[in-house]
Amino acid sequence: MLLDDLINALSDEKQSLGGILLKTKVFLHQIGRKELADWAKFEMSGYPDGAELPEYRHVTFQLLANVSNGVYRYPSHPIPTFHLDKQVKDRFMSDEMRQPIATVESWCGPGGTLQRPLPMELNPLLSKGLSGGMMVERAWCEVSIASVTNILTQVRSRLLDFLLELKDVVGDVSQDDDVKARSQGADLAGMFNKAVFGPNTTIIVGNNSTISAAQSNSVADLIGGSRDLVEQLRAALPASGLPPSVRIEAEAALVEIEGALAEPNPSRLKAGLKFLRKSLEGASGNLIASGALTALAALQAMGH
């Protein structure tokens, strides 16, 4: 039976997701739920412009550069971005992975990164966040292969969650027609949305071959901005010059925020941001701390 075949295939990470998604599309048609197949189609062929992307297909880049002051030179140095406008950061430090799942799979391997060069016209602007006369020579955005691989993990895990829940609904059956019969009356669209797109997102599928999302913008912005801030601080803290006691508290706050982002839990996230802000207020004269406090004020305003 195709349902059992899909569950077994998803449990085997060696099997290509492209083939699994194709079978998923066939299966959804067979049980009379072809309106749910748009997601599988977009994952296989890529998301066209205008189609809303699932959250897991958004990735955040780290900003790196070769910097020098004429005496010292540091390659692949993390660059502070707290002084940059949100529009600049959104353009160069995040990306939408709209490519077909086969393309994403081809990028993934052991270790490594994906890089996107930045135009040299940005060098003076990026240099403003540096001290000691350091200037940017060449800058680029970088994302780890692990972040890209997470797209594959999310697709596999979310689809498996849906199929396992469907299996619980229909019980032990031997034919796909039995799945169709026993699932009549069940809220499969709700099950699918919850498993694949998350409990806080409403995805309207089967709408002229597009997927659109209705989600609380404030919560989405809070989560995205917090994730961006955590990644920047993780890169900047080692060379921040913050007092050891401040660094220890800040790192503890980052752990709490990361835990909230993993759930995600907005209430816990707000508490973590408050903890981080309190830990940095004692070092507000520090460049990194000042930039972080500005970013935290903006994030906490989103949560109200």
**What CATH code is carried by the domain that includes residue 239?**
1.20.1270
pTM of the model: 0.61
Residues 202 and 134 in one domain: no
Residue 211 is predicted with a pLDDT of 33
Same-domain check for residues 130 and 18: no
Query: Do residues 59 and 144 both lie within one domain?
Result: yes
Q: Are residues 246 and 276 in the same domain?
A: yes
Looking at residue 204, what is its pLDDT? 39
- Residues 198, 296: Cα–Cα separation, whole Å: 26
> Are 15 and 130 contained in the same domain?
no
Which residue range forms the structural domain that includes residue 133? 55-149
Q: Is residue 127 located within the same domain as residue 64?
A: yes
pLDDT of the chain along its 304 residues, tens only?
Answer: 689 999 999 988 888 899 999 999 999 988 888 888 889 999 999 998 877 788 889 888 888 999 999 999 999 998 888 788 777 777 777 888 999 999 999 988 777 888 889 889 889 999 988 888 999 999 999 888 888 898 999 999 999 999 999 999 888 876 777 888 888 878 888 888 888 877 654 443 443 333 333 333 467 778 888 888 898 888 888 888 888 888 888 888 898 898 888 877 788 888 889 889 888 887 867 778 877 887 888 787 765 5
158, 232: one domain: no
The pLDDT, as a whole number, for residue 207 is 39
Q: Using CA of residue 114, residue 112, residue 148, residue 224, what is the dihedral sign? A: negative
Shared-domain flag, residues 120 and 266: no
Domain boundary among 103, 119, 149: 149
CA distance 278 to 229: 15
- Of 51, 92, 58, 3, residue with least CA distance to 211: 51
156, 15: one domain: yes
What pLDDT, on the 0 to 100 scale, is given for residue 256?
A: 86
Whether 17 and 79 map to the same domain: the answer is no
3-state SS, one letter per residue, for 119-187: CHHHHHHHHCCCCCCCEEEEEEEEEEHHHHHHHHHHHHHHHHHHHHHHHHHHCCCCCHHHHHHHCCCCC
Query: Which of 170, 198, 214 delimits the end of a domain?
Result: 214
Write down the pLDDT at residue 25. 92
Last residue of a domain, one of 195, 214, 233: 214
Rounded Cα distance between 73 and 80, Å, is 17
Name the amino acid, one letter, at 49.
D
Q: Are residues 78 and 141 in the same domain?
A: yes
With CA atoms as reference, report the closest residue to 58 among 197, 238, 157. 197
Looking at the structure of the chain, the number of domains it has is 3
50, 71: one domain: no
Pairwise CA distance, residues 58 & 271, whole Å: 25
Cα 247 to chain centroid distance, Å, stands at 26
CB atoms within 10 A of CB 169: 14
pLDDT at residue 164, rounded to an integer: 93
